[in-house]
Structure 1
Amino acid sequence: MFGMRAAAPQRPKTEGEKPFWISYADLMTALMILFLIVMVASLAMMTKRIADAEQGEKARAADISKLCNQLKIRARNLDIVVDCRENRINFGEAGRFGYNDYKLGPAGQQALRNVVPLVIEAANSEEGRKWFKQVLIEGFTDTDGSYLYNLHLSLQRSEWVMCAILDDRYSVVTGLDQDQKRQVRDLFLAGGVSFNNAKDSKEASRRVELRMQFYGLKDRTNATATTRPIVFDGTAPEKCLLQ
Protein backbone atom coordinates (compact mmCIF):
# COMPACT_ATOMS: atom_id res chain seq x y z
CA MET A 1 0.00 0.00 0.00
CA PHE A 2 2.88 2.27 0.89
CA GLY A 3 4.72 1.18 -2.31
CA MET A 4 2.03 2.41 -4.61
CA ARG A 5 2.68 5.78 -6.22
CA ALA A 6 0.02 8.31 -6.45
CA ALA A 7 -1.17 8.69 -10.01
CA ALA A 8 -0.08 11.98 -11.60
CA PRO A 9 -2.93 14.25 -12.32
CA GLN A 10 -3.94 13.89 -15.97
CA ARG A 11 -3.30 17.03 -18.04
CA PRO A 12 -6.02 18.38 -20.25
CA LYS A 13 -5.90 17.03 -23.79
CA THR A 14 -5.62 20.51 -25.34
CA GLU A 15 -2.59 21.46 -23.28
CA GLY A 16 -0.22 19.35 -25.38
CA GLU A 17 -1.58 20.76 -28.61
CA LYS A 18 -1.11 24.43 -27.69
CA PRO A 19 2.57 24.70 -28.77
CA PHE A 20 1.70 23.24 -32.22
CA TRP A 21 -1.12 25.67 -32.91
CA ILE A 22 0.93 28.62 -31.66
CA SER A 23 3.78 27.70 -34.05
CA TYR A 24 1.39 27.23 -36.98
CA ALA A 25 -0.20 30.62 -36.37
CA ASP A 26 3.22 32.26 -36.21
CA LEU A 27 4.23 30.56 -39.46
CA MET A 28 1.10 31.76 -41.27
CA THR A 29 1.67 35.28 -39.99
CA ALA A 30 5.27 35.24 -41.17
CA LEU A 31 4.24 33.94 -44.61
CA MET A 32 1.58 36.63 -44.92
CA ILE A 33 4.11 39.33 -44.01
CA LEU A 34 6.61 37.90 -46.51
CA PHE A 35 3.92 37.87 -49.20
CA LEU A 36 3.07 41.50 -48.48
CA ILE A 37 6.75 42.47 -48.67
CA VAL A 38 7.13 40.71 -52.04
CA MET A 39 3.97 42.36 -53.38
CA VAL A 40 5.10 45.82 -52.25
CA ALA A 41 8.54 45.29 -53.80
CA SER A 42 7.00 44.04 -57.08
CA LEU A 43 4.62 46.99 -57.27
CA ALA A 44 7.49 49.38 -56.57
CA MET A 45 9.59 47.82 -59.36
CA MET A 46 6.68 47.88 -61.79
CA THR A 47 5.93 51.51 -60.96
CA LYS A 48 9.59 52.42 -61.51
CA ARG A 49 9.67 50.63 -64.87
CA ILE A 50 6.56 52.45 -66.03
CA ALA A 51 7.97 55.77 -64.85
CA ASP A 52 11.31 55.09 -66.58
CA ALA A 53 9.52 54.11 -69.81
CA GLU A 54 7.39 57.26 -69.73
CA GLN A 55 10.44 59.38 -69.03
CA GLY A 56 12.35 57.68 -71.83
CA GLU A 57 9.48 58.21 -74.28
CA LYS A 58 9.28 61.89 -73.33
CA ALA A 59 13.02 62.29 -73.84
CA ARG A 60 12.79 60.50 -77.21
CA ALA A 61 9.92 62.70 -78.37
CA ALA A 62 11.79 65.83 -77.27
CA ASP A 63 14.94 64.77 -79.15
CA ILE A 64 13.03 63.98 -82.35
CA SER A 65 11.10 67.25 -82.12
CA LYS A 66 14.34 69.19 -81.67
CA LEU A 67 15.95 67.43 -84.64
CA CYS A 68 12.96 67.97 -86.90
CA ASN A 69 12.48 71.60 -85.95
CA GLN A 70 16.13 72.37 -86.58
CA LEU A 71 15.80 70.75 -90.00
CA LYS A 72 12.62 72.74 -90.61
CA ILE A 73 14.39 76.01 -89.80
CA ARG A 74 17.31 75.17 -92.10
CA ALA A 75 14.95 74.28 -94.98
CA ARG A 76 12.60 77.22 -94.54
CA ASN A 77 14.34 79.45 -97.08
CA LEU A 78 14.82 76.68 -99.65
CA ASP A 79 11.16 76.14 -100.63
CA ILE A 80 11.27 72.80 -98.82
CA VAL A 81 8.45 71.99 -96.41
CA VAL A 82 9.27 69.88 -93.35
CA ASP A 83 6.19 68.54 -91.56
CA CYS A 84 7.27 67.63 -88.02
CA ARG A 85 3.87 66.16 -87.15
CA GLU A 86 4.02 63.58 -89.95
CA ASN A 87 7.84 63.61 -90.19
CA ARG A 88 7.62 64.27 -93.92
CA ILE A 89 9.67 66.40 -96.30
CA ASN A 90 8.08 67.60 -99.52
CA PHE A 91 9.20 69.99 -102.23
CA GLY A 92 5.84 71.47 -103.21
CA GLU A 93 5.48 72.03 -106.94
CA ALA A 94 9.20 71.42 -107.41
CA GLY A 95 8.72 67.81 -106.38
CA ARG A 96 6.07 67.03 -109.01
CA PHE A 97 6.54 64.76 -112.01
CA GLY A 98 5.18 65.12 -115.49
CA TYR A 99 2.52 62.75 -116.81
CA ASN A 100 3.98 59.24 -117.20
CA ASP A 101 7.43 60.57 -116.28
CA TYR A 102 9.72 59.52 -113.47
CA LYS A 103 12.32 62.29 -113.61
CA LEU A 104 12.12 65.54 -111.71
CA GLY A 105 12.55 68.84 -113.51
CA PRO A 106 15.26 71.42 -112.77
CA ALA A 107 13.42 72.82 -109.74
CA GLY A 108 13.04 69.36 -108.22
CA GLN A 109 16.67 68.57 -108.86
CA GLN A 110 17.67 71.77 -107.11
CA ALA A 111 15.47 70.82 -104.17
CA LEU A 112 17.31 67.50 -103.93
CA ARG A 113 20.66 69.27 -104.00
CA ASN A 114 19.46 71.41 -101.10
CA VAL A 115 17.79 68.81 -98.91
CA VAL A 116 20.16 65.82 -98.98
CA PRO A 117 23.04 67.56 -97.14
CA LEU A 118 20.53 68.85 -94.55
CA VAL A 119 19.20 65.33 -93.91
CA ILE A 120 22.73 63.95 -93.54
CA GLU A 121 23.55 66.78 -91.15
CA ALA A 122 20.44 66.00 -89.11
CA ALA A 123 21.35 62.31 -88.99
CA ASN A 124 24.83 63.21 -87.71
CA SER A 125 23.50 65.40 -84.91
CA GLU A 126 23.44 64.17 -81.33
CA GLU A 127 19.73 63.41 -81.55
CA GLY A 128 20.06 61.88 -85.01
CA ARG A 129 22.72 59.39 -83.94
CA LYS A 130 20.34 58.13 -81.26
CA TRP A 131 17.01 58.01 -83.08
CA PHE A 132 17.32 58.48 -86.87
CA LYS A 133 16.49 55.15 -88.50
CA GLN A 134 15.98 55.85 -92.21
CA VAL A 135 14.49 58.11 -94.87
CA LEU A 136 11.90 56.48 -97.08
CA ILE A 137 11.69 57.94 -100.59
CA GLU A 138 8.04 57.67 -101.59
CA GLY A 139 6.99 58.16 -105.19
CA PHE A 140 3.31 58.81 -105.86
CA THR A 141 1.17 58.69 -109.00
CA ASP A 142 -2.28 59.73 -110.06
CA THR A 143 -5.08 57.22 -110.68
CA ASP A 144 -4.74 57.01 -114.48
CA GLY A 145 -3.98 53.49 -115.61
CA SER A 146 -4.03 50.19 -113.74
CA TYR A 147 -2.80 49.52 -110.24
CA LEU A 148 0.32 47.61 -111.32
CA TYR A 149 1.16 50.25 -113.90
CA ASN A 150 1.06 52.98 -111.26
CA LEU A 151 2.92 50.81 -108.75
CA HIS A 152 5.75 50.40 -111.25
CA LEU A 153 5.76 54.11 -112.10
CA SER A 154 5.82 55.16 -108.45
CA LEU A 155 8.74 52.80 -107.82
CA GLN A 156 10.58 54.28 -110.79
CA ARG A 157 10.09 57.76 -109.38
CA SER A 158 11.48 56.87 -105.98
CA GLU A 159 14.32 54.89 -107.57
CA TRP A 160 15.21 57.83 -109.83
CA VAL A 161 15.57 60.07 -106.78
CA MET A 162 18.02 57.59 -105.29
CA CYS A 163 19.88 57.46 -108.60
CA ALA A 164 20.00 61.24 -108.71
CA ILE A 165 21.69 61.27 -105.32
CA LEU A 166 24.28 58.52 -105.87
CA ASP A 167 24.99 58.32 -109.61
CA ASP A 168 27.51 61.00 -110.60
CA ARG A 169 26.35 60.82 -114.22
CA TYR A 170 23.10 62.50 -113.24
CA SER A 171 24.93 65.47 -111.71
CA VAL A 172 21.84 66.22 -109.62
CA VAL A 173 23.27 66.00 -106.12
CA THR A 174 26.93 67.00 -106.30
CA GLY A 175 29.63 67.55 -103.73
CA LEU A 176 28.96 64.43 -101.63
CA ASP A 177 32.12 62.67 -100.46
CA GLN A 178 32.39 58.90 -100.08
CA ASP A 179 31.42 58.95 -96.42
CA GLN A 180 28.28 60.96 -97.18
CA LYS A 181 27.37 58.55 -100.00
CA ARG A 182 27.80 55.67 -97.58
CA GLN A 183 25.39 57.42 -95.23
CA VAL A 184 22.92 57.84 -98.09
CA ARG A 185 23.08 54.09 -98.77
CA ASP A 186 22.55 53.39 -95.07
CA LEU A 187 19.76 55.92 -94.51
CA PHE A 188 17.76 56.32 -97.72
CA LEU A 189 15.36 53.64 -98.92
CA ALA A 190 13.45 53.79 -102.21
CA GLY A 191 9.90 52.47 -102.18
CA GLY A 192 6.97 52.87 -104.55
CA VAL A 193 3.54 53.47 -103.03
CA SER A 194 1.36 53.73 -106.16
CA PHE A 195 -1.55 56.18 -105.84
CA ASN A 196 -1.99 55.95 -102.06
CA ASN A 197 -2.50 59.28 -100.30
CA ALA A 198 -3.67 61.04 -103.46
CA LYS A 199 -3.94 64.81 -103.49
CA ASP A 200 -6.80 67.01 -104.66
CA SER A 201 -5.57 67.09 -108.25
CA LYS A 202 -3.78 64.58 -110.45
CA GLU A 203 -0.91 67.02 -110.97
CA ALA A 204 -0.36 67.34 -107.20
CA SER A 205 -0.59 63.55 -106.81
CA ARG A 206 2.36 62.97 -109.16
CA ARG A 207 5.03 63.79 -106.60
CA VAL A 208 7.84 62.54 -104.42
CA GLU A 209 8.14 62.90 -100.66
CA LEU A 210 10.73 61.93 -98.07
CA ARG A 211 9.41 60.30 -94.90
CA MET A 212 11.71 60.28 -91.90
CA GLN A 213 11.50 57.24 -89.67
CA PHE A 214 12.88 57.02 -86.13
CA TYR A 215 13.72 54.22 -83.74
CA GLY A 216 11.45 53.44 -80.81
CA LEU A 217 12.89 52.84 -77.36
CA LYS A 218 13.00 49.05 -77.77
CA ASP A 219 14.02 49.31 -81.43
CA ARG A 220 17.02 51.43 -80.55
CA THR A 221 18.21 48.93 -77.93
CA ASN A 222 17.81 45.97 -80.29
CA ALA A 223 19.43 47.81 -83.19
CA THR A 224 22.43 48.75 -81.09
CA ALA A 225 22.89 45.16 -80.01
CA THR A 226 22.26 43.25 -83.25
CA THR A 227 22.43 45.50 -86.35
CA ARG A 228 25.51 45.17 -88.52
CA PRO A 229 26.18 47.73 -91.24
CA ILE A 230 25.86 46.46 -94.81
CA VAL A 231 29.14 46.97 -96.64
CA PHE A 232 29.09 47.36 -100.43
CA ASP A 233 32.02 47.37 -102.81
CA GLY A 234 33.33 50.90 -102.47
CA THR A 235 35.42 50.66 -105.64
CA ALA A 236 32.46 49.90 -107.92
CA PRO A 237 30.91 53.08 -109.38
CA GLU A 238 27.24 53.70 -108.70
CA LYS A 239 25.37 53.30 -111.99
CA CYS A 240 21.63 53.68 -112.25
CA LEU A 241 19.82 51.18 -114.49
CA LEU A 242 16.98 53.56 -115.28
CA GLN A 243 17.20 55.01 -118.76
Structure 2
Amino acid sequence: MFGKQMPSVARAKDDAEKPFWISFADLMTAMMILFLVVMVAALSSVTQRISQSEQGEKQRSRDISQLCEHLQLKAKHSNATIVVDCKDNRISFGEAGRFGHNQYSLSDEGQSALQGVVPLILDAADSEEGRKWFKQVVIEGFTDTVGSYLYNLHLSLQRSEWVMCSLLDSRSPLQIGLSAERQQQIRSMFLAGGVSFNNAKDTNEASRRVELRMQFYGLKEKEENLKPEVPVFASTVSEKCQLAMTR
Protein backbone atom coordinates (compact mmCIF):
# COMPACT_ATOMS: atom_id res chain seq x y z
CA MET A 1 0.00 0.00 0.00
CA PHE A 2 2.76 2.31 0.84
CA GLY A 3 4.72 1.27 -2.22
CA LYS A 4 1.91 2.09 -4.58
CA GLN A 5 2.59 5.37 -6.32
CA MET A 6 -0.18 7.84 -6.63
CA PRO A 7 -0.59 9.24 -10.17
CA SER A 8 0.89 12.70 -10.26
CA VAL A 9 -1.22 15.51 -11.54
CA ALA A 10 0.56 17.00 -14.56
CA ARG A 11 0.86 20.72 -14.50
CA ALA A 12 -1.01 22.22 -17.33
CA LYS A 13 1.83 24.56 -18.13
CA ASP A 14 1.11 24.73 -21.81
CA ASP A 15 -2.57 25.28 -21.19
CA ALA A 16 -1.82 28.13 -18.86
CA GLU A 17 0.41 29.87 -21.41
CA LYS A 18 -1.83 29.45 -24.43
CA PRO A 19 -4.08 32.43 -23.77
CA PHE A 20 -1.01 34.71 -23.55
CA TRP A 21 0.53 33.55 -26.82
CA ILE A 22 -2.77 33.72 -28.66
CA SER A 23 -3.28 37.34 -27.56
CA PHE A 24 0.26 38.28 -28.59
CA ALA A 25 -0.19 36.71 -32.01
CA ASP A 26 -3.45 38.55 -32.52
CA LEU A 27 -1.76 41.82 -31.55
CA MET A 28 1.08 41.28 -34.03
CA THR A 29 -1.42 40.41 -36.77
CA ALA A 30 -3.41 43.58 -36.07
CA MET A 31 -0.25 45.69 -36.12
CA MET A 32 0.82 44.13 -39.41
CA ILE A 33 -2.58 44.81 -40.94
CA LEU A 34 -2.46 48.40 -39.69
CA PHE A 35 1.03 48.83 -41.15
CA LEU A 36 -0.12 47.49 -44.50
CA VAL A 37 -3.12 49.81 -44.52
CA VAL A 38 -0.89 52.82 -43.78
CA MET A 39 1.60 51.82 -46.49
CA VAL A 40 -1.15 51.34 -49.06
CA ALA A 41 -2.63 54.75 -48.20
CA ALA A 42 0.80 56.41 -48.40
CA LEU A 43 1.63 54.78 -51.73
CA SER A 44 -1.78 55.72 -53.08
CA SER A 45 -1.26 59.36 -52.01
CA VAL A 46 2.21 59.49 -53.59
CA THR A 47 0.96 57.90 -56.79
CA GLN A 48 -1.91 60.37 -56.96
CA ARG A 49 0.42 63.33 -56.47
CA ILE A 50 2.78 62.05 -59.16
CA SER A 51 -0.14 61.56 -61.53
CA GLN A 52 -1.44 65.07 -60.85
CA SER A 53 2.07 66.48 -61.32
CA GLU A 54 2.47 64.68 -64.64
CA GLN A 55 -0.91 65.90 -65.82
CA GLY A 56 -0.07 69.45 -64.72
CA GLU A 57 3.28 69.34 -66.52
CA LYS A 58 1.62 68.08 -69.69
CA GLN A 59 -0.97 70.85 -69.48
CA ARG A 60 1.79 73.42 -68.91
CA SER A 61 3.68 72.16 -71.97
CA ARG A 62 0.53 72.32 -74.08
CA ASP A 63 -0.25 75.86 -72.93
CA ILE A 64 3.29 77.10 -73.62
CA SER A 65 3.34 75.41 -77.03
CA GLN A 66 0.01 76.95 -77.92
CA LEU A 67 1.17 80.39 -76.76
CA CYS A 68 4.40 80.15 -78.74
CA GLU A 69 2.69 78.87 -81.89
CA HIS A 70 0.22 81.76 -81.83
CA LEU A 71 3.12 84.18 -81.38
CA GLN A 72 4.99 82.45 -84.20
CA LEU A 73 2.04 82.83 -86.55
CA LYS A 74 1.46 86.49 -85.72
CA ALA A 75 5.16 87.32 -86.03
CA LYS A 76 5.30 85.65 -89.43
CA HIS A 77 2.50 87.85 -90.72
CA SER A 78 3.91 90.96 -89.04
CA ASN A 79 7.53 90.90 -90.21
CA ALA A 80 9.33 88.26 -92.26
CA THR A 81 12.61 88.94 -90.46
CA ILE A 82 11.19 87.81 -87.09
CA VAL A 83 11.85 84.13 -86.35
CA VAL A 84 10.15 82.51 -83.35
CA ASP A 85 11.75 79.22 -82.29
CA CYS A 86 9.22 77.31 -80.19
CA LYS A 87 11.68 74.51 -79.45
CA ASP A 88 14.13 76.76 -77.60
CA ASN A 89 11.62 79.57 -76.87
CA ARG A 90 13.79 82.12 -78.65
CA ILE A 91 13.04 85.05 -80.93
CA SER A 92 15.64 86.15 -83.46
CA PHE A 93 15.66 88.70 -86.29
CA GLY A 94 17.93 87.24 -88.94
CA GLU A 95 20.20 89.77 -90.61
CA ALA A 96 18.13 92.61 -89.14
CA GLY A 97 19.23 91.60 -85.67
CA ARG A 98 22.95 91.69 -86.40
CA PHE A 99 25.52 94.21 -85.20
CA GLY A 100 28.53 95.65 -86.96
CA HIS A 101 32.04 94.83 -85.81
CA ASN A 102 32.57 96.32 -82.32
CA GLN A 103 29.19 98.02 -82.59
CA TYR A 104 26.27 97.67 -80.19
CA SER A 105 23.44 99.56 -81.89
CA LEU A 106 21.00 97.99 -84.31
CA SER A 107 20.21 99.23 -87.78
CA ASP A 108 16.88 100.85 -88.64
CA GLU A 109 15.72 97.47 -89.94
CA GLY A 110 16.55 95.84 -86.61
CA GLN A 111 14.71 98.52 -84.67
CA SER A 112 11.72 98.07 -86.96
CA ALA A 113 11.73 94.33 -86.24
CA LEU A 114 11.82 95.03 -82.50
CA GLN A 115 9.04 97.56 -82.87
CA GLY A 116 6.94 94.88 -84.52
CA VAL A 117 7.59 92.00 -82.15
CA VAL A 118 7.35 93.73 -78.75
CA PRO A 119 3.57 94.36 -78.91
CA LEU A 120 3.10 90.74 -79.99
CA ILE A 121 5.05 89.54 -76.95
CA LEU A 122 2.97 91.74 -74.67
CA ASP A 123 -0.22 90.39 -76.22
CA ALA A 124 1.04 86.84 -75.67
CA ALA A 125 1.76 87.66 -72.03
CA ASP A 126 -1.79 88.98 -71.65
CA SER A 127 -3.36 85.84 -73.08
CA GLU A 128 -4.93 83.16 -70.89
CA GLU A 129 -1.85 80.94 -71.18
CA GLY A 130 0.52 83.88 -70.81
CA ARG A 131 -1.03 85.04 -67.54
CA LYS A 132 -0.44 81.56 -66.13
CA TRP A 133 3.05 80.79 -67.40
CA PHE A 134 4.83 83.76 -69.04
CA LYS A 135 7.58 84.89 -66.69
CA GLN A 136 9.97 87.22 -68.50
CA VAL A 137 11.98 87.95 -71.64
CA VAL A 138 15.76 88.05 -71.47
CA ILE A 139 17.52 90.18 -74.08
CA GLU A 140 20.75 88.39 -74.98
CA GLY A 141 23.53 90.06 -76.93
CA PHE A 142 26.09 87.87 -78.67
CA THR A 143 29.53 88.55 -80.13
CA ASP A 144 31.92 86.75 -82.43
CA THR A 145 34.98 84.92 -81.12
CA VAL A 146 37.43 87.67 -82.07
CA GLY A 147 39.03 89.33 -79.05
CA SER A 148 39.24 88.41 -75.39
CA TYR A 149 36.40 86.88 -73.44
CA LEU A 150 36.06 89.83 -71.05
CA TYR A 151 35.98 92.36 -73.89
CA ASN A 152 33.30 90.38 -75.71
CA LEU A 153 31.35 89.90 -72.49
CA HIS A 154 31.26 93.67 -72.00
CA LEU A 155 30.33 94.21 -75.65
CA SER A 156 27.52 91.65 -75.51
CA LEU A 157 26.15 93.34 -72.39
CA GLN A 158 26.30 96.72 -74.17
CA ARG A 159 24.31 95.25 -77.04
CA SER A 160 21.59 93.83 -74.81
CA GLU A 161 21.47 97.06 -72.77
CA TRP A 162 21.19 99.14 -75.93
CA VAL A 163 18.17 97.10 -77.00
CA MET A 164 16.71 97.42 -73.51
CA CYS A 165 17.22 101.17 -73.57
CA SER A 166 15.54 101.30 -76.96
CA LEU A 167 12.51 99.73 -75.35
CA LEU A 168 12.53 102.15 -72.42
CA ASP A 169 13.65 105.46 -73.88
CA SER A 170 10.67 107.75 -74.47
CA ARG A 171 12.41 109.18 -77.56
CA SER A 172 12.76 105.75 -79.17
CA PRO A 173 10.47 104.77 -82.07
CA LEU A 174 9.68 101.62 -80.09
CA GLN A 175 7.72 103.73 -77.62
CA ILE A 176 5.38 105.10 -80.27
CA GLY A 177 1.81 104.00 -79.66
CA LEU A 178 2.56 102.29 -76.33
CA SER A 179 0.40 103.21 -73.37
CA ALA A 180 1.85 103.89 -69.93
CA GLU A 181 0.60 100.47 -68.85
CA ARG A 182 2.46 98.79 -71.71
CA GLN A 183 5.62 100.73 -70.92
CA GLN A 184 5.47 99.52 -67.33
CA GLN A 185 4.87 95.99 -68.58
CA ILE A 186 8.08 96.22 -70.61
CA ARG A 187 10.00 97.37 -67.54
CA SER A 188 8.79 94.42 -65.50
CA MET A 189 9.08 91.73 -68.17
CA PHE A 190 12.23 92.51 -70.15
CA LEU A 191 15.71 91.97 -68.73
CA ALA A 192 19.13 92.60 -70.28
CA GLY A 193 21.84 89.97 -70.08
CA GLY A 194 25.24 89.67 -71.76
CA VAL A 195 26.40 86.22 -72.87
CA SER A 196 29.62 86.94 -74.81
CA PHE A 197 30.33 84.53 -77.69
CA ASN A 198 28.47 81.53 -76.28
CA ASN A 199 26.39 79.76 -78.93
CA ALA A 200 28.42 81.26 -81.78
CA LYS A 201 27.16 80.83 -85.34
CA ASP A 202 29.03 79.60 -88.40
CA THR A 203 30.30 83.08 -89.30
CA ASN A 204 31.39 86.09 -87.27
CA GLU A 205 28.72 88.23 -88.95
CA ALA A 206 25.95 85.84 -87.92
CA SER A 207 27.36 85.57 -84.39
CA ARG A 208 27.10 89.32 -83.75
CA ARG A 209 23.39 89.36 -83.01
CA VAL A 210 20.66 89.90 -80.46
CA GLU A 211 18.02 87.38 -79.44
CA LEU A 212 15.05 87.39 -77.08
CA ARG A 213 14.75 84.36 -74.82
CA MET A 214 11.30 83.70 -73.38
CA GLN A 215 11.15 82.21 -69.91
CA PHE A 216 8.13 80.55 -68.32
CA TYR A 217 7.14 79.69 -64.79
CA GLY A 218 7.65 76.16 -63.55
CA LEU A 219 4.75 74.06 -62.38
CA LYS A 220 5.35 74.78 -58.69
CA GLU A 221 6.37 78.41 -58.96
CA LYS A 222 4.09 81.13 -57.62
CA GLU A 223 3.83 84.18 -59.79
CA GLU A 224 3.20 86.54 -56.92
CA ASN A 225 6.54 85.62 -55.33
CA LEU A 226 8.59 85.31 -58.50
CA LYS A 227 7.78 88.39 -60.51
CA PRO A 228 11.01 89.62 -62.13
CA GLU A 229 12.42 92.73 -60.57
CA VAL A 230 12.85 95.90 -62.56
CA PRO A 231 16.41 95.99 -63.93
CA VAL A 232 18.75 98.25 -62.02
CA PHE A 233 19.53 100.45 -64.97
CA ALA A 234 15.84 100.88 -65.80
CA SER A 235 15.53 103.35 -62.93
CA THR A 236 18.28 105.50 -64.43
CA VAL A 237 16.99 105.65 -68.00
CA SER A 238 17.56 109.38 -68.25
CA GLU A 239 21.27 108.91 -67.51
CA LYS A 240 22.54 105.55 -68.67
CA CYS A 241 20.19 105.05 -71.60
CA GLN A 242 20.76 108.55 -72.92
CA LEU A 243 24.49 107.86 -72.84
CA ALA A 244 24.07 104.51 -74.57
CA MET A 245 21.73 105.82 -77.27
CA THR A 246 23.94 108.80 -78.18
CA ARG A 247 27.21 106.88 -78.63
1:45 is the counterpart of 2:45 = yes
Unaligned runs of 5+ in 2: 1-7
Unaligned runs of 5+ in 1: 1-7
- Cα contact 2:187–2:230 (8 A) shared by 1: no
User: C-alpha deviations, 1:168-217, integer Å up to 9, x for none?
Assistant: 22334421111111111111010011111111111111100000011111
User: C-alpha deviations, 1:11-66, integer Å up to 9, x for none?
Assistant: 51111111101100100110111011011111111110110010000000000000
- Measure, in 1, the Cα distance between the counterparts of 2:228 and 2:101: 38
- Cα contact 2:135–2:227 (8 A) shared by 1: no
Letter in 2 for 1:51: S
| 1:127 corresponding residue in structure 2 | 129
Letter in 1 for 2:110: G
TM-score (norm 2): 0.88
Letter in 1 for 2:24: Y
Letter in 2 for 1:217: L
- Measure, in 2, the Cα distance between the counterparts of 1:193 and 1:231: 20
- SS of aligned partner of 1:209: strand
Structure 1 runs, 4 residues or longer, greater than 6 Å off: none
The structural deviation recorded for 1:227 is 4.1
- The equivalences for 1:1-243 within 5 A come to 11-77=11-77, 78-79=79-80, 80-218=82-220, 220-221=221-222, 223-224=223-224, 226-227=225-226, 238-239=237-238, 240=241, 241-242=243-244, 243=247
- Measure, in 2, the Cα distance between the counterparts of 1:104 and 1:54: 43
User: C-alpha deviations, 1:86-127, integer Å up to 9, x for none?
Assistant: 000000011011111111001101001100000000011111
- Measure, in 1, the Cα distance between the counterparts of 2:158 and 2:127: 31
- SS of aligned partner of 1:136: strand
- Cα contact 2:188–2:230 (8 A) shared by 1: no
- Cα contact 2:154–2:194 (8 A) shared by 1: yes
Distance change in 2, residues 1:56/1:36 (3 Å): same
Count of matched residue positions in the alignment of Structure 1 and Structure 2? 230
CA RMSD of aligned residues (A): 1.9
The structural deviation recorded for 1:68 is 0.2
- Cα contact 2:99–2:105 (8 A) shared by 1: yes
- SS of aligned partner of 2:137: strand
Letter in 1 for 2:191: L
TM-score (norm 1): 0.89
| 2:4 corresponding residue in structure 1 | none
- Measure, in 2, the Cα distance between the counterparts of 1:47 and 1:16: 48
- SS of aligned partner of 1:217: coil
